[in-house]
Amino acid sequence: MSYLFTSESVSEGHPDKIADQISDALLDSFLAFDDNSKVACETLVTTGQVVLAGEVRSNTYLDVQQIARDVINDIGYTKGEYQFSGDSCGVISLIHEQSKDIYQGVNRTSKEDQGAGDQGMMFGYATNETENYMPLALDISHKLLIELAKLRREGKDITYLRPDAKAQVTIEYSDDNVPQRIDTIVVSTQHDNFDEDEPMLKQIEKDIHSILIPRVKALFDESIQALFDDDIAYHINPTGKFVIGGPHGDAGLTGRKIIVDTYGGKGAHGGGAFSGKDPSKVDRSAAYAARHVAKNMVAAGIADEVLIQVSYAIGVSEPTSILVDTTNKKIDMSDGDIAKKIRMIFDMRPGMIEERLKLRNPIYRETAAYGHMGKEPRFETKIFKSDYSGEIRREVELFTWEKLDYVDKLKEAFDL
């Protein structure tokens, strides 16, 4: 019997995602001027206000208030009528120095001996149901909002969009876990108050159907396009008009969209958020490393789906455990034996993860909206400015954990 599975995404203008992007923009600036910075930045946004808090140990000094304002403006909160804008909001900084007790557990002379920045378990997941090895419902949800943001910025085909938005997609699967069709699509988008309620809502619904959905559908190959049939149930702004949004509608906090950030409810999640944390925090770096392992395993043909769990004790370099859980395995080997081989192939010590995935670079602002996983790795030149440290230009490699650079090693190791 078939079953339904649902995932959601939120836009870059969602309050929680504003907070994530500010936290990661602060992290990037600290790392750009001092790549040994230890950072754990939290952000709160609400009507007309931003509060920055957390712990930092760094040799650089930044205008953190201006960084926060620049992020807010970049997202699109630039008008007073939104009750939240980069130029007019208050920004309060409560950031202080990192605890010496934590620092002594992480800092080591050699990368090999670097301790984990916290205890806990992290998960990585991959599936072959999409080209980017991500769950389909989440992939479509992200793409709906990415295209909606492009339409907002273009300001041509749809002129009334505001930054806050959410999307949700339900997929019907067969018994053998193959997507059969898209059952339901939900899109809620903030908008200007441009007409009376009824005609306004009809216009929004018409534009989502005729402009947004075709753009998103065209992003997929023919097999996925075929799932966009005429029987999809659409819910467009189902509560009615959505004029009041962003931090004026709801407060936002760093780390409150961890399922959106990862796999949309597929696989598993250890509970630790990513944004605002430097890579000594294994909540972030080990989750990226586990995704890297899982994606390369699926791409190598070891299984159709792979879930990796890795766990750590604070201050200890070696993981306390590594688990591999496969679905539709293609090799005659137990998951326990596979895990032993994976531990030999991938060095999961925190310092070695940092080196392998080049995580001590300012690469994190790009992760803070539309998911940390499933994006194309690429090189980019980024410019950072500071009144205290001048200007620095850095060429960085983004989304290194998405590279399929271990496929050949895995095929050789597992005789594929």
pLDDT at 109 over 70: no
Q: Residue 246: left (phi > 0), alpha (psi -120 to 50), or beta? A: left
For the cut 80, the answer to whether the pLDDT of residue 218 exceeds it is yes
Q: Do domains 3-9+136-245 and 120-128+282-413 have the same CATH topology?
A: yes
State yes or no: 98 annotated in a binding site.
yes
Question: Would you say 42 is a known binding-site residue?
Answer: yes
For 212, residues 6+ apart whose C-beta sits below 8 A from its C-beta are 144, 147, 148, 151, 158, 187
Section 19-25 average pLDDT: 98
Give the separation between CA 234 and CA 205, rounded to whole angstroms. 9
Segment holding 283, helix H or strand E:
helix 282-299
**Per-residue confidence (pLDDT) for residue 185, from 0 to 100:** 98
Give the C-alpha separation, 314 to 106, whole Å: 8
Mean pLDDT of 193-202: 95
CB-based contact 132:298 (threshold 8 Å): no
Three-class SS state of 178: coil
CA atoms within a 13 Å half-sphere pointing along the CA-CB vector of 215? 18
CA atoms within 13 A on the CB side of 314: 10
Residue (of 138, 230, 250, 261) closest to 190 by Cα position: 250
Tens digit of each residue's pLDDT (9 = 90 or more) over 144-189: 999 999 999 999 999 999 999 999 999 999 999 999 999 999 999 9
Longest dimension (CA), the chain: 66
Query: What mean pLDDT is predicted for residues 346-357?
Result: 96
Instruction: Provide the token pair at 247.
Output: 């931090």
Which band of pLDDT confidence, cut at 50, 70 and 90, is reported for residue 103? Answer: low
pLDDT tier at 116 (50, 70, 90 boundaries)?
A: confident
| CATH number of the domain located at residue range(s) 120-128+282-413 in this protein | 3.30.300.10
Q: Comparing 167-176, 266-275, 387-396, 403-412, which segment has the lowest mean pLDDT?
A: 387-396
CATH architecture of the domain 3-9+136-245 equals 2-Layer Sandwich (3.30)
**pLDDT for position 97:** 80
| Cα distance between residue 79 and residue 16, in whole Å | 19
- The torsion region of residue 236 among left (phi > 0), alpha (psi -120 to 50) and beta comes to beta
Structure tokens at 75: 């997202």
Determine whether the annotation assigns residue 242 to a binding site: yes
Is it the case that residue 352 has pLDDT exceeding 60?
yes
Q: What is the reported pLDDT for 106?
A: 60
Residues in the chain: 416
pLDDT surpassing 60 at residue 100: no
| Residue 65 is assigned to a ligand binding site | no
pLDDT number for residue 389: 83
Is residue 411 marked as binding?
A: no
**Above 60 in pLDDT, residue 104?**
no
Residue 412 counted as an annotated binding residue: no
Is 147 among the annotated ligand-binding positions? no
Q: Which amino acid is at 286?
A: A
Residue 68's nearest CA partner among 85, 82, 81, 47 is 85
In tens, the pLDDT along 303-324 reads 999 999 999 999 899 999 999 9
Q: Does residue 115 carry a pLDDT above 90?
A: no
Domain boundaries, the chain: 3-9+136-245, 120-128+282-413
Contact residues for 4 (Cβ-Cβ < 8 A; gap 6+)? 170, 171, 172, 173, 183
Tell me: pLDDT of 78 over 80.
yes
Global confidence as pTM = 0.95
Cβ-Cβ contacts under 8 Å for 298 (sequence gap 6 or more): 126, 127, 128, 133, 304, 305, 306
pLDDT interval class at 107 (50, 70, 90): low
| 223 has pLDDT over 70 | yes
Q: Average per-residue pLDDT in the chain? A: 94
Contact between 382 and 394 under an 8 Å Cβ cutoff? The reply is: yes
Predicted confidence band of residue 388 (pLDDT cuts 50, 70, 90): confident
pLDDT of residue 101: 53
> What is the pLDDT, as a whole number, of residue 114?
83
pLDDT above 80 for 120 = yes
101 marked as binding residue: no
Q: Which 3-state string (H, E, C) describes the chain?
A: CCEEEEEEEECCCCHHHHHHHHHHHHHHHHHHHCCCCEEEEEEEEECCEEEEEEEEECCCCCCHHHHHHHHHHHHCCCCHHHCCCCCCCEEEEEEEECCHHHHHHHCCCCHHHCCECCCEEEEEEEECCCCCCCCHHHHHHHHHHHHHHHHHHHCCCCCCEEEEEEEEEEEEECCCCCEEEEEEEEEEEEECCCCCHHHHHHHHHHHHHHHHHHHHHCCCCHHHHCCCCCCCEEEECCCCCCCCCHHHHCCEECCCCHHHHCCCCCCCCCCCCCCCECCCCHHHHHHHHHHHHHHHHHHCCCEEEEEEEEEECECCCCCCEEEEEEEEECCCCCHHHHHHHHHHHCCCCHHHHHHHCCCCCCCCHHHCCCCCCCCCCEEEEEEEEECCCEEEEEEEEECHHHCCCCHHHHHHHCCC
pLDDT at residue 105 above 60? Answer: no
Residue 118, marked binder: no
360 among the known binding-site residues?
no
Task: Write out the catalytic residue numbers.
Answer: 14, 16-17, 42, 55, 166, 242, 250-251, 256-257, 277, 281, 283
